[in-house]
Chains A and B, each alone.
Chain A
């Protein structure tokens, strides 16, 4: 029986000729990731294990991004705990304030994730690296601890859903709109325990940033991972960012899928997920009149260079609606610098937005944009659960950078065509 892309990567890392869906395997890990919220719990667990140090000091990445620069004393204690662990174990890929960025933007940029890898991360959006043709999935802190100690993790081999993307997306339709459309179609548990494999001739029209956004939100459909095949664009990206060798995998012709969908990207419209689930999607022409209090443009989903370029192209020369708080967060130091050199930061500030150092802060209601009772935010982040960005009676509307930027100008949820 043929294997999917994901199954081939897992088989290779388990030392097996082939695997089938449902099989329990132990796979070698190329990278183990943690952040300042999940790593302290993992460090506590690894200290209980009968192990001497970590399996490989270059194959662990610790990124202080959620509550860093630290928002309070307790989060400072957490970062200190991770810092000391990184120092003691000589972890080469430890990223603290000054070097850090939002982990899932930072790691591909630093060349730490390439096609064919098996990666686990104690952060649910670890599935992002599937954009490069890697198998990567989110786990908890104890799995992270076991991964750091042994360099291995157990997996149940997933079955898969195939998404055949065809056609060229219209002007304002981005990776975010595509993944929101898919989640709206299959639901927040539509891919539960499964791989989401994206194929088709429509992929040629998707930039790396689009693909990273799509793979990033596989978890919002319950997926174990999202994965793209490797093409010239992927190869060019990896050669630019990494010196690591990579392995390309393609699904077998006779690979078995639980379900197959064909999506004509040319028919999609800018899409918004209404509270309180990412599956509550409406196209921009269906949103009605929704006044907002805050806009966030950033996060591991949409804080990359292309996201900032699109937002700035819409906001240039315009003013944010009076009374609206508009928060722009470049996802890494490099993106911040590049955006500055391109003049995007000036565009944002002149429009009345603020620009923050990289942090996950507002996405999870941590800091740097926490919301009060009854407030509404249009956000390029990935979750709009009850209380996600602050008060339990606040609301989050998930959208693309283009929709977020347009909404920043009008003060209500708006498509880019309304302001450009």
Chain B
């Protein structure tokens, strides 16, 4: 069973890729280097406080804006184990699946979960548990085709196996 477990960083609507990773850092494509500036323009303390396994929870249209794969790459390299949102912008959604960053759409969880809560996500069942409050939510399951890409940990491995 694949799962995520960590404490929550919470953000609002329309978190765009320019605040996830500002373009002034796009002269690098090294995920580790990008991670040192992740979320910098929306939350200066994110990089300081994030621990391996932590979870980002946001409202609508997370990851809107540019197609820079550097955005999910920086989030993944910062140690985040899962992003939960009401909705994702479509390019960010695609990019996350393609690079193997687990993301789940779940409006109920995105609204109910608070910053700092301890949350568990079971990727097989799509169940999200707020350990702090005891609430459980059912996230949207991936279509089987996307699940295969996720199981291969990204599009490159999926293509190589095909």
B145 adjacent to A24 (CB under 8 Å): yes
Smallest CB–CB gap between B39 and chain A, Å? 11
Q: Does B49 contact A (CB under 8 A)?
A: no
Candidate in A48, A224, A370 with the most chain B CB atoms within 10 angstroms: A48
Of B23, B98, B143, which one neighbours A142 at CB under 8 angstroms? Answer: B98
Smallest CB–CB gap between B40 and chain A, Å? 8
A142 adjacent to B18 (CB under 8 Å): no
A222 adjacent to B64 (CB under 8 Å): yes
Contact digits for B127-162, partner A, Cβ 8 Å, 1 yes 0 no = 000000000000000010100000000111001100
8 Å CB interface, B29-84 against A: 29, 41-42, 60-61, 64-70, 72-73
B91 adjacent to A138 (CB under 8 Å): yes
B70 adjacent to A146 (CB under 8 Å): no
In the complex formed, the residue of A with least CB distance to B96 is: A140
Q: Does A365 contact B (CB under 8 A)?
A: yes
- Give chain A residues whose Cβ lies under 8 Å from the Cβ of B42: 386
A37 adjacent to B68 (CB under 8 Å): yes
- For chains A and B in complex, what number of residue pairs have CB atoms within 8 angstroms? 133
- Given A24-B145, A122-B67, A123-B67, A140:B95 Cβ within 8 A: yes
- Give chain A residues whose Cβ lies under 8 Å from the Cβ of B24: 365-366, 370
A124 adjacent to B27 (CB under 8 Å): no
Selecting from A68-76, A304-312, A346-354, A399-407, the interface stretch reads A68-76
**Cα-based distance from A24 to B149 in the complex (angstroms):** 13
8 Å CB interface, B109-139 against A: none
Smallest CB–CB gap between B60 and chain A, Å? 6
**Cα-based distance from A123 to B65 in the complex (angstroms):** 10
A49 adjacent to B98 (CB under 8 Å): no
Q: Does A415 contact B (CB under 8 A)?
A: no
A142 adjacent to B155 (CB under 8 Å): yes
Of B28, B65, B66, B70, which one neighbours A74 at CB under 8 angstroms? Answer: B28
**Interface range on chain B (Cβ under 8 Å from partner):** 35 or more
**Cα-based distance from A188 to B94 in the complex (angstroms):** 18
- Give chain B residues whose Cβ lies under 8 Å from the Cβ of A295: none
Q: Does B107 contact A (CB under 8 A)?
A: no
Q: Does B4 contact A (CB under 8 A)?
A: no
- Give chain B residues whose Cβ lies under 8 Å from the Cβ of A71: 27
Smallest CB–CB gap between A390 and chain B, Å? 8
In the complex formed, the residue of A with least CB distance to B158 is: A146
**Cα-based distance from A87 to B60 in the complex (angstroms):** 42
- Beyond the given A126-B67, A189-B87, could you list 10 further A-B residue pairs with CB under 8 A, ordered by the A residue number? A37-B68, A41-B70, A41-B73, A140-B68, A140-B72, A143-B98, A146-B98, A146-B159, A222-B61, A366-B26
Identify the B interface with A (CB < 8 A): 14, 16, 18-19, 22-24, 26-29, 41-42, 60-61, 64-70, 72-73, 87, 89-91, 94-95, 98-99, 143, 145, 154-156, 159-160
